[in-house]
Structure 1
Amino acid sequence: MSSLFRMKAIMVKEFRQLSRDKLTYAMIVMIPLIQLLLFGYAINTVVRQIPVAVVDQSHSQASRWLVESMKASQVVDVVEYYQSTVEGQKGIQTGEVRAVLVIPYDLEQRQAQQRVQAQWMIDGSDSMIGSAILGLENMPVTNTYKLSNLPVDSKATNQTFEMTMFYNPAQRSAINIVPGLLGVILTMTMVLFTSIAIVRESEQGNLELLITTPVSSFELMIAKIIPYIFVGLLQVAIVLGLGYFIFDVPINASLIDVFLGSLVFISASLTLGLVISTIAKTQLQAMQLTLFIILPSILLSGFMFPIEGMPVLAQWIAEGLPATHYMRIIRALVLKGAELGDLYKDVLWLLGFTVLGIAVAALRFKKTLD
């Protein structure tokens, strides 16, 4: 009986201690709630409204009808009109659009003869996007061929579009997964490493020593992340190297661009970890908060599910994650052979996030010293 009383006392103590730990208590309730609502609402394997462009060489009523038929399918959303196929390929390479519909000058004649009417140039770096657009290959375009007065050819085909897949014509999953996996690995390791940096100093009793030194808060934040930058770059070399030699994943861009693009993402992830480290009181809390960042980074960044298939609110949340911007950068560099300068919007976003993160972490750390 005395054993039960002793166990009861320990249990009561644990419950009271848990109730006093407001951050852990909030995480117990909020993590499953937010994750359930966010992912249940956001994850959608049926891709719709894929941003595409049109190269209209026909400039006819038939071509306008064809474009409207594509819009009516709700699979694609025409966001750009290019003058040439070269511009279209550039748009796919930089990620402005996911596919380009090329309408030939003899569209009316093709419709009258019931031949293949136009060509899709598809970004194959995302297999789900590619599969969704490939599903339009035999899409009927009702009555468009009647717009032509040319005689109908007796030879007919059920194929409406010719499909050309760029960057991953064989639709190998490793081509798409390996670069994206690099973003997930860096997020997990970089955020976790620095999220426990300040907390560890406090738990080991080194924080008082740091307070007495002339090192400023800003200098401390910079010094904390620099060693892990080299760790992150080493991970980039390992993942891409093994991906190239084992899974035959091509590296089409300059290695300098690849490492520079990875550098800005590593810096952003490390500063995010530092901010978490100034919020958490224990290493357990730091790891819980890190998990709160890692799961959205995996599911909302475009690694597993296309962002285009998500509701607008989920897309806004995704745009606030550093991993989302890095997914665009690394896939454009490694798979499409883009130049880092073409991806300046995502690079500038990550640089701005890094500067803001260091500033917030330094201010919060200074505040705790007061």
Structure 2
Amino acid sequence: MSLRRLWAIVLKELRQMRRDRVTLAMIVGIPVMQLVLFGYAINLNLRHLQAGIADQANTSASRALLMDMVATEVITPALRVDTPDALMHALREGRISVGVVIPPDFERRRYEGREAVQVLVDGSDTVVQSAAVQLAQVPLQSQPLANDRPLRAGAVAAAGQISVVAFYNPQRRSAINIVPGLIGIILTMTMVMFTAVAIVRERERGNMELLIATPLTRSELMIGKVLPYAVIGLVQTTLVLLLGMWLFDVPVRGSVLDVYLASILLITANLALGLLISTKAQSQFQAMQMTMFVFLPSILLSGFMFPFAGMPRVVQWLAEVLPLTHFLRLVRGIMLRGARWWELWPEVLALVAFIAVMMTLAILRFRKRLD
């Protein structure tokens, strides 16, 4: 072995990496991204869960209890309603994660040591369910009612007066939360990569010039290239659904058609993003590298692996740009809470807007590159 020839090859590779800006960005970007995301954005200690309040007693004691609950920083009041039914409706739509119900006879229940407060929790997320249990530890200061014998100062209500009721996943089975999210993870990973690599592969093989010479418009060419992958995405969705129901008994409480409509939105969004990446990538290797830049934040910030509510506000704003974030809310709302797609219209609107922007940018960049 010649050290001189070996050193020449090493220098060649270093110079080639220096010219390849995407590879250089991956070398620096992935460690920085992982450090920032895991060190700053990921927080398993949930705080400030969106909560709905139904204070039917509306007394000084009930208001003091709510202030004590808010002081724990576990919940943040986001909605005030009059009835528990309204809280359940908001819980199903995903507008809140926790609901606090204080009945009209709160004072009597508190004094008699009976269940005085009920905390309703969206149990489809087991981490949220675990965090909400902390609310049951908030003390109720017992005070005597009129004409009753006085209690000793500082007496605390009996344990169990604040009950936590988990809906949609009372057994706290992780598979019920994970399997619907896996649909989004698989579609994000495969659809973006397949589309980005497919377009670049045509360019590398010299087939793109032949396609341009045909009467096809650029929009027809790009949409026609990605339609087969949309079918593949639906096959993957069906496979995950069937295996999830068969192996893990994952329920589909909503409409299966709504699940497929949500999946089509995510598939289209990822295909549009893959097209945009393909207009920038110069090779298949670069396309896969750029796909990693999309996939890594998606899996970490969307709420699939780590609770969305535990992230800093700035990171939550960034996560709102990712299509996987909105799909997870859609698919979990439909499959686990039985919501209909029009009840989750903000997530549908966000995905439609993402598709429109990405597809427009991809077509504009594609035309500019071919002229």
Same fold (TM over 0.5): yes
Question: Is the 8 Å Cα contact of residues 109 and 150 (structure 1) preserved in structure 2?
Answer: no
User: Cα distance, 1:146 vs. partner?
Assistant: 2.9
Task: Please show how residues 24-43 of structure 1 align to structure 2 within 5 Å.
Answer: 24-43=23-42
Letter in 2 for 1:307: F
Give the distance between the partners of 2:330 and 2:109, measured in 1 at CA: 39
Question: Is the 8 Å Cα contact of residues 275 and 360 (structure 1) preserved in structure 2?
Answer: yes
Letter in 2 for 1:365: F
1:190 maps to what in 2? 191
1:292 maps to what in 2? 293
Q: 1:369 to 1:149 in 2, by over 3 A?
A: same
Task: Please show how residues 212-223 of structure 1 align to structure 2 within 5 Å.
Answer: 212-223=213-224
Q: 1:293 to 1:164 in 2, by over 3 A?
A: same
User: Cα distance, 1:60 vs. partner?
Assistant: 1.5
Give the distance between the partners of 2:362 and 2:144, measured in 1 at CA: 64
Identity of aligned residues (%): 47
1:69 maps to what in 2? 68
Task: Please show how residues 137-156 of structure 1 align to structure 2 within 5 Å.
Answer: 137-141=136-140, 143=141, 145-146=142-143, 148-149=145-146, 151=148
Moved more, 202-211 or 166-175: 202-211
Letter in 2 for 1:345: P
Task: Please show how residues 59-98 of structure 1 align to structure 2 within 5 Å.
Answer: 59-98=58-97
User: Cα distance, 1:114 vs. partner?
Assistant: 3.3
Letter in 2 for 1:68: M
| Two-structure CA RMSD over aligned residues (Å) | 1.7
Task: Please show how residues 130-279 of structure 1 align to structure 2 within 5 Å.
Answer: 130-141=129-140, 143=141, 145-146=142-143, 148-149=145-146, 151=148, 157-279=158-280
User: Cα distance, 1:147 vs. partner?
Assistant: 7.7
User: Cα distance, 1:211 vs. partner?
Assistant: 2.3
Q: Secondary structure in 2 aligned to 1:251?
A: coil
User: Cα distance, 1:150 vs. partner?
Assistant: 6.2
Letter in 2 for 1:290: T
- CA deviation string 1:173-205 (max 9, x = no partner): 111111111111111111111121221111111
1:360 matches 2:357 = no
Between the two proteins, the alignment pairs up a number of residues equal to 367
Q: Secondary structure in 1 aligned to 2:113?
A: coil
Question: Is the 8 Å Cα contact of residues 94 and 329 (structure 2) preserved in structure 1?
Answer: yes
Q: Identify unmatched segments of 5+ residues in structure 2.
A: none
Give the distance between the partners of 1:168 and 1:106, measured in 2 at CA: 29
Task: Please show how residues 300-315 of structure 1 align to structure 2 within 5 Å.
Answer: 300-315=301-316
Letter in 1 for 2:22: L
Q: 1:195 to 1:39 in 2, by over 3 A?
A: farther
Letter in 2 for 1:180: G
Give the distance between the partners of 1:225 and 1:36, measured in 2 at CA: 34
Q: Identify unmatched segments of 5+ residues in structure 1.
A: none
Give the distance between the partners of 1:111 and 1:322, measured in 2 at CA: 46
User: Cα distance, 1:149 vs. partner?
Assistant: 3.9
Moved more, 218-227 or 282-291: 218-227
Question: Is the 8 Å Cα contact of residues 62 and 147 (structure 1) preserved in structure 2?
Answer: no
Question: Is the 8 Å Cα contact of residues 197 and 274 (structure 1) preserved in structure 2?
Answer: no
Give the distance between the partners of 1:265 and 1:124, measured in 2 at CA: 24
Q: Secondary structure in 2 aligned to 1:121?
A: strand
- CA deviation string 1:218-256 (max 9, x = no partner): 222211221111111111111011111111111111111
1:126 matches 2:125 = yes
User: Cα distance, 1:115 vs. partner?
Assistant: 2.9
Q: Secondary structure in 2 aligned to 1:305?
A: coil
Letter in 1 for 2:363: A
